[in-house]
Amino acid sequence: MEPLTPSTRILQIIAGHWLSCSVYVAAKLNIAELLANGPQTVEALAAASGSHAPSLYRLLRALAAEGIFEETSKGVFSITPAATALQEDAPGNVKAFVLALLGEHYHGWGELLYSVQTGGIAFDHHFGTDIWSWYRSHPAEGLNFMKAMTAMTQYVDKAIIAAYDFSGFNTIVDVGGGNGALLMAILKATPAATGIVYDAPYVIEKTAEAIAANGLTNRCGVKGGDFFKSVPPGADAYIMKYILHDWYEEDAIRLLRNCSEVMKPGDKLLAFDAVIPEGNGPHPGKLFDITMLVATGGRERTAQEFQYLFEQAGLQFNRVIPLALPDVSIVEGEKL
Ligand code: SAH
């Protein structure tokens, strides 16, 4: 095959943006769900989704060219394996992630230039408030974001459990544990351990429901609070997934110090985040890092940068444990 010309390469990247916008609209209009029971005409899809049939046809034709939906006869579309990832409630679906990352986060991406020129947070620049306050005051999007994070956890939880032995821990606190997906997966794999999900009060109401639905109420509690004020004491492991990457150095160190202050010698702190390798090679964390730049003001980090944060917080940096998936690694720290 001929190598791509420089112009073709850039044009393909631009088309990737158009494609992701098209995926967002299909998700927003629930097209994948409407096709769950069999093929539908575009007119029926337009009527059921409240959209303009000729325009919807063009959207679905463009998506079908990428294997997302298929035009099985003229004007009739059906589901494809790729499109099932947009079906709410389908196992392993990423619909909530699509709605969040191409919904409210999109406005941050629209102001990426602002972030790169000033170092400021594009999301805050656009909305006039930080993302966590915005979610508190937009409960539907806030709940959707927590579903998105749960899906991201379920994407990696088996790889985490395969890579780390949690059986030595009695009590695990998941700091910023969201709706509890990771801690519940760990507790299911570690029958002797108990745990607490610690997160903002508006988040943990749903977390308590999820824990009850999983039959783990006797081993897993919830606590609402602000992790910049304090972290629950009494555990021998503090875990935090997709937390440190939300914060810039000063805040990340403050949060780690709050953990360090309640930890006893030998207790472990495990951060689950992308760890950016040296060099020019591709790594999913390198673009996630830009999402952090525009949406939260945080960042993805190298192993050395994690070591710096841990040491500033009074924790020993032990090691980075890679997972089968490159998206996340386990960064282990320890209280001396
Ligand atoms: N660990 C979860 C959620 C990550 S999203 C997962 O990987 O799926 C970041 C989480 O940090 C959200 O649940 C958010 O509610 C929580 N958070 C943000 N600021 C917080 C604060 N000041 N105190 C407690 N939790 C906070």
CATH number of the domain where residue 77 is located: 1.10.10.10
> Are residue 33 and residue 123 in the same domain, yes or no?
no
> Are residue 248 and residue 310 in the same domain, yes or no?
yes
Number of domains the chain is built from: 2
> Are residue 243 and residue 153 in the same domain, yes or no?
yes
Mean pLDDT over the full length of the chain:
97
Q: Residue 107 falls within a domain, yes or no? A: no
d(C-alpha 122, C-alpha 109), whole Å: 7
User: How many whole angstroms from 203 Cα to the centroid of ligand 1?
Assistant: 8
Residue 174 has a pLDDT of 98
Q: Residue 109 falls within a domain, yes or no? A: no
Atom of ligand 1 nearest to the CA of 149: 8
> Are residue 154 and residue 256 in the same domain, yes or no?
yes
> Are residue 182 and residue 307 in the same domain, yes or no?
yes
> Catalytic one among 17, 105, 125, 245?
245
User: How many whole angstroms from 244 Cα to the centroid of ligand 1?
Assistant: 10
- Chosen domain end from 88, 105, 137: 88
> Are residue 119 and residue 249 in the same domain, yes or no?
yes
User: How many whole angstroms from 228 Cα to the centroid of ligand 1?
Assistant: 11
Atom of ligand 1 nearest to the CA of 226: 23
Cβ–ligand 1 distance for 177 under 6 Å, the answer yes
Residue 198 has a pLDDT of 98
Q: Residue 106 falls within a domain, yes or no? A: no
User: How many whole angstroms from 181 Cα to the centroid of ligand 1?
Assistant: 12
Nearest Cα residue to atom 15 of ligand 1? 200
> Are residue 162 and residue 268 in the same domain, yes or no?
yes
Q: Hey, how many other C-beta atoms are within 10 angstroms of the C-beta on 162?
A: 10
Residue 281 has a pLDDT of 96
Q: Which CATH number characterizes residue 233's domain?
A: 3.40.50.150
> Are residue 75 and residue 135 in the same domain, yes or no?
no
Q: Residue 96 falls within a domain, yes or no? A: no
Cβ–ligand 1 distance for 132 under 6 Å, the answer yes
Confidence (pTM) = 0.94
Q: What is the pLDDT of residues 273-294, one digit of tens each?
A: 999 999 999 999 999 999 999 9
Residue 311 has a pLDDT of 98
> Are residue 67 and residue 200 in the same domain, yes or no?
no
User: Annotated catalytic, 17?
Assistant: no
> Are residue 147 and residue 58 in the same domain, yes or no?
no
> Are residue 84 and residue 122 in the same domain, yes or no?
no
Give residue 296's domain range: 114-334
- Chosen domain end from 72, 88, 104: 88
Q: Which of 199, 203, 226 should be mutated for ligand 1, with most atoms under 8 A from CB?
A: 199
Long-range contacts for 274-277 (Cβ within 8 Å, ≥24 apart)?
274/245, 274/300, 274/326, 274/327, 274/328, 274/329, 275/300, 275/301, 275/302, 275/303, 275/306, 275/320, 275/322, 275/329, 275/331, 276/300, 276/301, 276/302, 277/302
Determine the residue type at 251.
Answer: D
- Chosen domain end from 88, 103, 123: 88
Q: Residue 250 falls within a domain, yes or no? A: yes
Q: Residue 97 falls within a domain, yes or no? A: no
> Are residue 190 and residue 312 in the same domain, yes or no?
yes
Strand order in the sheet with 70-73: 40-41, 76-78, 70-73
Report the alpha-carbon angle 204-295-67, nearest 5: 90
Q: Which of 149, 150, 202, 204 should be mutated for ligand 1, with most atoms under 8 A from CB?
A: 149
Q: What is the pLDDT of residues 214-272, one digit of tens each?
A: 999 999 999 999 999 999 999 999 999 999 999 999 999 999 999 999 999 999 999 99
Does 318 have pLDDT greater than 80? Answer: yes
Q: Which of 101, 172, 243 should be mutated for ligand 1, with most atoms under 8 A from CB?
A: 243
* Weakest-pLDDT range from 1-10, 46-55, 84-93, 98-107: 1-10
Q: What is the pLDDT of residues 55-106, one digit of tens each?
A: 999 999 999 999 999 999 999 999 999 999 999 989 999 999 999 999 999 9
35-60 average pLDDT score: 98
Q: Residue 95 falls within a domain, yes or no? A: no
**107 burial level (CB within 10 Å; 0-12, 13-18, 19+):** middle
Q: Residue 94 falls within a domain, yes or no? A: no
Q: Is 333 left (phi over 0), alpha (psi -120 to 50) or beta?
A: beta
User: How many whole angstroms from 140 Cα to the centroid of ligand 1?
Assistant: 16
User: How many whole angstroms from 105 Cα to the centroid of ligand 1?
Assistant: 16
Q: CB–CB of 229/254 below 8 Å?
A: no
Atom of ligand 1 nearest to the CA of 246: 9
6-29 average pLDDT score: 97
